[in-house]
Structure 1
Amino acid sequence: MKALILSGGKGTRLRPLTYTGAKQLVPVANKPILWYGIEAIAAAGITEVGIVISPETGEEVKAKTGDGDRFGIQITYILQEQPAGLAHAVKVAQPFLKDSPFILYLGDNLVQGELGLFLEHFQSRDLDALTLLCHVPNPSAFGVAKVDEQGRVLQLVEKPLDPPSNLALVGIYFFSPVIHEAIASIQPSARGELEITDAIQSLIDQQKFVEALQIQGWWLDTGKKDDLLEANQIILDTCLTSSIQGQVDAASKISGRVQICAGSRIINCTIRGPVVIGNNCHLENCFIGPYSSIGDAVKLVDADLEHSVILQGATIVGIHQRIVDSVIGQRVQLRVAPQRPKALRFMIGDDCQIELCQ
């Protein structure tokens, strides 16, 4: 069994952050989104993993993620020159996959639950394809499945105007090698891409064994800012453990689950968890509210924030109005003049410099 993780695409829904970086490397609770998928695959006992990368961000993904040693797996990087669809990515990866069954995992997805349980179902039932489904309130925004009472998939439709159900396709699939024949038989869709839903529908039409399982926990597609913040909140709620390795002075007050990494200094701050603060940060005269993730080497002075994600190397100084529901990119410099504006809300890309004046 192998795994194929998709880490290409242009990340248009997370711009401006993704003008300069891969969306799969944007951190959730200070860990790249991509790594959650890798860890889940490794936990399922799969050690041969291919990661599909794009020309624009592939080198960054490789540099950040490495050869797989840190996860106990072996990673092979596969270049997809153009984002021509999920099925096209599988086609490009066929020399790596060969005749092995595999998991197809979209690298910007987060799913609660163990992949091993789904893998066991796929293998024990000797299926040609297994799709994971989740009830959603807006099925027209997703690929949608129609399923019978036995769990057999009857129909798949990509972003339908009139959805046959409210069961969305989660970005995780299990395939036997027969999927390659199905991909070879389909044509590009109206948007010019080879759709994995069309390939699975081809298997269904050929009476192959295609089933679906509904996930019982949460599923998060982190393609937008609010989705990213929701993912950050859920991961902090469910996974964060308290740990203080940095220096905290006597004037600071810390409550709830808070993680402060090595080399960080906390001076005269109030921190209410769940909060994670990375390595080598400097926080002084700040209030840090729940569901905040602060990356490595961040400097915060005279600043208040909550329910926000601050990426590596950012500097925020002199902002007493609370920053909420914000994602602030790497190396951003954000300062405010003494006269205070009424409210602040940000979606700021990498390398910006912003000064608020009145």
Structure 2
Amino acid sequence: MNIIIPMAGRGSRLRPHTLTVPKPLVPVGGKPIVERLAEDIVAMSTEKVNEIAFVIGDFGEETETQLLAIAERLGAKGHICHQHEPLGTAHAILCGKQCLNGPVVVAFADTLFRADFTIDPNADGVLFVNQVENPSAFGVVVTDANGTIEDYVEKPAEFVSDLAMIGIYAFRDGNRLHFELQRLIDENIIKGGEYQLPDALRHMTQNGLRFEPGNVTEWMDCGNKAATVDTNQRILALTASELHTPSDAVIENSVVLPPCYIGSGVHIRNSVVGPHVSLGERTIVENSRIENSLIQTDSVIQNKVLSNSMVGAHARIIGQPADISLGDYNEIQ
């Protein structure tokens, strides 16, 4: 089995955190989003993963080396593929065409999930979906009476289904998917300046291929700051038994409320940290209270109360201790 991970987007909704780091490499729970995604697919799959194609923009040599190392750690051969123009989801997948053979999983790199990866032997693939309250904000699938997908609707103005596609797809025949994606390019089937995967899926369905919706037990989005903070919370809860404080971390006169990820070389002094906090390597926290937040590597937090926050690498937040004389019935906000 092969995996294609399109991740060439700019990550605009997650700025400023994506100004210096591509969004899929932003750590959540102490590990880059794309690494968690690839690990989860490998762990959930019943087949060995042979190759992983990372479809990226111009992210630089350091990023490319990091991605190839992720594939190697998972026992797969990594490929770096470039999408130089934002020409849509179908075009992005086609950029990883060297992996479009045999069984293939396509996983867009702003989603983490938990699901059963078993494919019905009578089906041609599985499109993983999640039931949502606001389907007009998503691309959805429409199923027939037998639960087989019969149509794909992008952001329906009127209700047709509440099964939102989450950006994870498993195909039995990567070669057929390759053919259908190339057909969109050759026949210039384009919408809004982009070649879209649902157009290929619709044509495959109309020609007799059978796709089923796959249910996920967890769907975690990393599209913006609030969603990423929430995903960090859920990842820490799911992996709580795997979290351990490294031997070189220094915790002085402080309390760490689990679950928390504490990176190597972290210093915590006179503080309360947690629950649901990730502290990147070598970060320093002093005289502070932090909960439900992500702090990346080599940052300093002093004299602050942080909640539901996301702080980048090499950042400094220095508050000032207050010496206050406050009378009765006064209020400071």
| TM-score of the pair, normalised by structure 1 | 0.83
Aligned to 1:328: 311
The range that moved more, 294-303 or 172-181, is: 172-181
Question: 1:269: how far off?
Answer: 0.5
Q: Is 2:64 the partner of 1:62?
A: yes
Conserved 8 A contact 2:6-2:93:
no
How many angstroms apart in 1 are the aligned matches of 2:68 and 2:180?
32
Aligned to 2:331: none
- 1:31-88 alpha-carbon deviations (Å, 9 max, x no partner): 1111122112323221211111111x25343233334222222211111112221100
Question: 1:271: how far off?
Answer: 1.4
- 1:83-119 alpha-carbon deviations (Å, 9 max, x no partner): 221100122222x12543311011221111343x2xx
Detail structure 1 runs of 4+ shifted over 4 Å in the superposition: none
Q: Is 2:146 the partner of 1:143?
A: no
Conserved 8 A contact 1:153-1:211:
yes
Aligned to 1:306: 291
How many angstroms apart in 1 are the aligned matches of 2:35 and 2:289?
29
Aligned to 1:171: 167
What amino acid is aligned across from residue 333 of structure 1 in structure 2? Answer: R
Q: Measured at CA, do residues 61 and 7 of structure 1 come closer, stay the same or move farther in structure 2, by a change above 3 Å?
A: farther
How many angstroms apart in 2 are the aligned matches of 1:58 and 1:167?
37
Aligned to 2:115: 113
Aligned to 1:37: 37
Conserved 8 A contact 1:28-1:228:
yes
Question: 1:288: how far off?
Answer: 0.7
Q: Measured at CA, do residues 197 and 206 of structure 1 come closer, stay the same or move farther in structure 2, by a change above 3 Å?
A: same
- 1:187-237 alpha-carbon deviations (Å, 9 max, x no partner): 45443111111111111222322222222x111121111211111111111
What amino acid is aligned across from residue 133 of structure 1 in structure 2? Answer: V
Equivalent pairs counted in the alignment come to 315
How many angstroms apart in 2 are the aligned matches of 1:156 and 1:180?
19
Aligned to 2:82: 79
Q: Measured at CA, do residues 30 and 203 of structure 1 come closer, stay the same or move farther in structure 2, by a change above 3 Å?
A: same
Q: Measured at CA, do residues 193 and 288 of structure 1 come closer, stay the same or move farther in structure 2, by a change above 3 Å?
A: same
Question: 1:340: how far off?
Answer: 8.4
More contact order relative to length (CA 8 Å, sep ≥ 6):
2
Question: 1:126: how far off?
Answer: 4.8
Structure 1: gaps (5+ residues) = 244-258, 342-358
Identity of aligned residues (%): 29
Map 1:1-358 onto structure 2 (within 5 A). 1-43=1-43, 44=45, 45-55=48-58, 57=59, 59-67=61-69, 68-94=71-97, 96-115=98-117, 117=118, 120-121=119-120, 124-127=121-124, 129-175=125-171, 176=173, 177-186=175-184, 187=188, 189-215=190-216, 217-241=217-241, 259-319=244-304, 322-339=305-322
How many angstroms apart in 2 are the aligned matches of 1:155 and 1:114?
23
Matched position secondary structure for 1:18? coil
Matched position secondary structure for 1:104? strand
Conserved 8 A contact 2:123-2:212:
no
